[in-house]
Each structure stands twice: as structure tokens, then as C-alpha cells.
Amino acid sequence: MLRIDPVLAPLRRTGVWAAVRRSRWWQALLRGPVRSLYRVWLLLRRAWRRNLQLRVVSITLALSGLLVGSFGVLVSVSITDGLLGDKQKDAHRDVTAAAEYAIQQLQVGDPNDPALRKYVGEVLTRLASEQSGSSRAEVAIVPHGQLQVTEDAAPDRSGTLDVIKSAELERLRAGVQAGDIMFQYVTADPDGDGMRPFLVYATRISIPAGTLGLYYLFPLDAEVVTADRVTYTVTVTGFTLVLLLAVLAALVTRMVVRPVRLAARTAQRLSAGLLDQRMEVRGEDDLARLAASFNQMAANLQRQIIRLEEMSRLQRRFTSDVSHELRTPLTTVRMAADLIFSSRDEFEPATARSAEILQGELDRFESLLTDLLEISRFDAGFAVLDAEPTDLVAVVGRVTDRLESLAERCGSPLEVDVPDIPVIVEVDPRRVERILRNLVGNAVEHGEGAPVRVTVRADESAVAVTVRDHGIGLKPGEEKLVFNRFWRADPSRARQTGGTGLGLSISVEDARLHGGWLEAWGAPGEGAQFRLTLPMRSGDRLVSAPLPLVPEDVAIPIDGAARTEVAP
């Protein structure tokens, strides 16, 4: 089937195709018959792509039609050539015998002798009388040069003579005069019964009075009827054979495709969560073994999924229970630690330092418990989005203000590029602020003393926030791992805040809860950039982002090895 997709692909990439489709002349062209044909072509293309049985039957029909057609043409040509070959042999034999007979009868030396005319008429009468039936040949003797004869004693040959003297047989007449035995196929009407095919066979008769041309017009009616009958028989037989092959291919393909379709539908139901779906096993052939193996695979998957779900449920319950159970002793320890921390000035230096370390580790432990509880809510499906109209510019300002002191300690100043007007978005401000706090905090820690830039852009359907650092960046493949739980790019590096390793995992879940994207890009020595994209209205579907994922100041290699986009 003709495919125009490779032809239109460059136009689609450049946007020319979209402009053409929106133009008035294209819309006018698609109306009426052209539009109907285009729709039919689309339906046929869709059926061709989706229906394996249709493709097999169509290919079988085309190939068998080509083979049977070629064989039919070969048979028809061979039979026709055989019939004409036999006709030529018989004609050659008859003309040779007639020429010998005419030479014997026309032994007259004087061209003006009246006996010559008489003998020519008798020879024609004799030769014509030997032809009988529907395949009776027309015979004519034509003088050459100055020789003049009449055919008074012969039947009327005016029609035959007109055919012989026609311009179509000029080459044949020249060959006969040169002494060759010539033949030619011609369509003529020598007797007024309509145009018919003839085989014209001729030879030269040399007599003492001069030279004559003996011409035979053998009708090919019987041979044409036989050839037409053979062609008709071969055509009908070939057409019937092609149809039978197509039907046979459809039946055989259906026997194979039907179990495959059942397997596809069963697999779709399994993927939809209906783990009890199975295929029907019939017989003991390869398809039956395929169905049995498929059912065994489905049963194993069902058992494995049930076991994993049970383990996941127990893990979530364990995490939630442990987090809740640790809250009570942590509160007690926190109260005691706060009391000790507030009195640290009265202690010795070593004891005061221990109180400060205890306070910091308790803060980290409490943050870890909070993150674990949040992760358990996401795993259990209990996370709720409290969306409300929020100025994203104000949220970015609060986050950068709170992390300004950390940026100063790390030597990575914060640069903020936001619109001059508020950007109102329907989001959960607490969750968005947590996402930005994690992104900016990680960028500051990995900034290697270089500035960290936060950019906000919005369009009609989406808003995007990018956080760009110029640190060591991410190695190839790490941009796929950065959102995993408890994963760190370099565990040996000294940390300023002592994170839990769950910040980006929680950020991804918060972005998904909004229906947004959280993506990462990084390259060694080029730093990293994270992009948060959220819909302007809660519940809308994202199709694009106002900001690119790859920074504009990065030279992208031709092979693209240094850029990878991840949309968790």
C-alpha cells in the first residue's frame, strides 16, 4: 500500500504541513469526492495496519494472482503459437505442392499465347476446388513483370486480389518476386463477410513465359475460436483458483490469528487488573501449547502480583506503624533535648557541643519521620490535593528567602528570574513550596560555589519553574535514578543540611498529584537543571512546558549522549 507518511514527515517537523492543512484551498480540496476518497484511504490504511488476516489474504491474493496470471499467459501464448505453427506447416505444404502442380501445367513459352490464359484459369479452378468447408483458402495467381494473364476460366477473385495488392502486403509481394516463400498475418474481408484474420502464404512460380506469384489466404477462424476458448478457460480457471487460494488463506490464517487475538484480548484484560482471565485450551497442537503456556504465565503473574501486593501492604503498614510509634518517644526525647539545649551555656564545652549535636540529630530524625509518613500516605493512596488559586511568584520568593542563609554558607548565591506580574495557578501551595524547597536546597548543596538560578515562566495552559546549578552535574543514567528513594549522587560528599534522601521522591509524588511533570537534566561538568511543570487549572492535562528542559547555555553534542529527559 502507498504510504505518504515518509513524504510528509519533513513538512510536519517544519510546521509547513500544519499551515497547509489550515489553508483555505486545502479545505476546499478536501470537500466533496476528494475528501471521501481520502477518508476511504485512511480507513483502508487503518485496516491494513491493524488486521493481520487482511494483510495475509491480500498478499496471498496478489502473489497468487501474479503467478496464476503469468502461468495463464504462458499457456495461452504456447497454445496459440502451437496452433499457428501447425497452420504454417500445413500452409507451407499446400503452397509447395500447388506451386509444383502449377509449374507442370503452365509450360507455355509464349506470354501472349491464349492457351496460357486458359491454363492459368484451369489451375486456379483446380486449386480452388481442392479447398472446401468453412476453412476454405482463397487462391490467386498474380503475374509479375510484363506477363499478362486473365482469369476468365476461374471463379471471381476480385476481393482476394484487392487484399493481395494492398499496401499492407507490399513487403510480402517484394519477397515473392525475389523468389522467397513468404507468409504474413493480415485482417481482411476478401469475400464481403466481414473482417477476419488470415494467414497469407505465397511463393513464386517460374515458367518459360515468365514468373507468376501464387498466393493463398488461409482463414484463421478455427484457430482464433480455439485460442479464445483456451484464453477464456485459462482466465476462468485462474480466477477461480485465485479465489480459492484467497479463501484457503483466509481460513488458514483465521485458524492461527483467532488464538492470537484471544491471547491479545486476554492480555489486555490482565493488564487492566482482571488477573483471573485465562485462554481456552483446545487440542494438543502448537496453538494449544501456546494457550497452556499463556495460562501458566498468567497464573504465575497472578500469584507473584498478589504476593508483591501483600508484601507492599505489609511494608506500608510497617512504615506507617513504626513512624507513628516513634512519634511518642520522639516527643518525649524532644522535650528533654530542648531543655538540655536551652541550658547548654551552663555546661562544659564538650557537654554543650553534645547538646547541640543531639538537637541537630533530633531535627533530622523528626524530618525523616515526617517524610516517611508522607511517603506512606502516597503509597496508601490517601494523599489529598488542596488546590486553591496561588501566586507562584510569591511561593518562589518565600522559598528563596528561607534558603538565602544556606546559599550564603555554601557560597552559591540565588538568582531569581520571575515575571513582573503575579502568576496565579490552581495548586496546593504547601506541596508546591515543598517541591521548590527540595529542588533549590539540592541545587545549593551541589552548586560548587556557583550561582543557582530559579526561573519562572507561564503561558495559557501551564507554568514551569526551572532550578539551574553549575555543579558537577549528573552522569549518564543518573537522571533516571535521582528520583528514587534514598538515592544520592555522591554519598561521600559532605552535606550542609543532612537530608533524608526522600525529598525528590516526595517531590515527584507531589507533582503527579497535581497532574504535572518533574524532570531532570544533567551532564558531567555542565551542572544540572530540574524543571517543574504544572497546569494552570487543576485537573487540566499538560501537553507542553513554557521552559526548555535543557539549558540554553549548554552545547548539546550531536549524538545527544549528554542530555536525557525524564518525566516521572
CA-to-CA separations, 102 to 96, 173, 177, 214, in angstroms, rounded: 10, 19, 16, 9
Other Cβ atoms within 10 Å of 419 Cβ, number: 12
Q: What span, in angstroms and rounded, lies between the C-alpha atoms of 129 and 139? A: 10
Q: What are the cell numbers at 44?
A: 483502508
Residue showing cell 543514567: 477
Q: What span, in angstroms and rounded, lies between the C-alpha atoms of 557 and 297? A: 44
Q: What is the pLDDT of residue 213?
A: 82
Domain 384-535 indexed as CATH 3.30.565.10: yes
Do residues 291 and 280 touch, judged by C-beta distance below 8 A?
yes
Do residues 16 and 26 touch, judged by C-beta distance below 8 A?
no
Q: What are the cell numbers at 215?
A: 498466393
328: exposed, middle or buried (C-beta count within 10 Å: 0-12, 13-18, 19+)? exposed
Q: What is the pLDDT of residue 16?
A: 56
Do residues 393 and 423 touch, judged by C-beta distance below 8 A?
yes
Q: What span, in angstroms and rounded, lies between the C-alpha atoms of 520 and 565? A: 6
DSSP 8-state secondary structure symbol assigned to residue 353: H
Question: CATH 3.30.565.10: which residues of the chain?
Answer: 384-535
Question: CATH 1.10.287.130: which residues of the chain?
Answer: 287-379
Helices (DSSP H) in 130-220: which residue ranges? 158-164, 170-177
Q: What are the cell numbers at 538?
A: 487543576
DSSP 8-state secondary structure symbol assigned to residue 143: E
Do residues 392 and 425 touch, judged by C-beta distance below 8 A?
yes
Residue showing cell 485450551: 281
User: Tens digit of pLDDT per residue, the chain (568 long)?
Assistant: 334 445 455 545 555 555 655 555 555 655 666 667 777 778 888 877 777 777 888 888 888 888 888 888 888 888 888 888 888 888 888 888 888 888 877 776 566 666 676 777 777 777 777 765 556 777 877 777 655 554 443 445 567 777 888 888 888 888 888 888 888 888 887 777 778 888 888 888 887 777 788 888 888 888 888 888 888 888 898 888 888 888 888 888 777 777 777 777 877 777 777 777 777 777 776 777 777 887 888 888 888 888 877 777 776 677 667 666 777 777 788 788 888 888 888 888 888 888 888 887 887 777 777 777 777 777 666 677 888 999 999 999 999 988 888 888 888 889 999 998 999 999 988 889 989 988 998 889 888 888 999 999 998 889 999 999 988 888 887 777 888 777 765 554 444 444 567 778 888 888 888 889 999 998 888 889 999 999 998 888 888 899 998 888 776 543 333 333 334 3
Closest CA to 452 of 376, 340, 533, 551: 551
| Domain 72-226 classification at class level | alpha beta
CATH topology of domain 287-379: Helix Hairpins (1.10.287)
Determine if the pTM surpasses 0.85: no
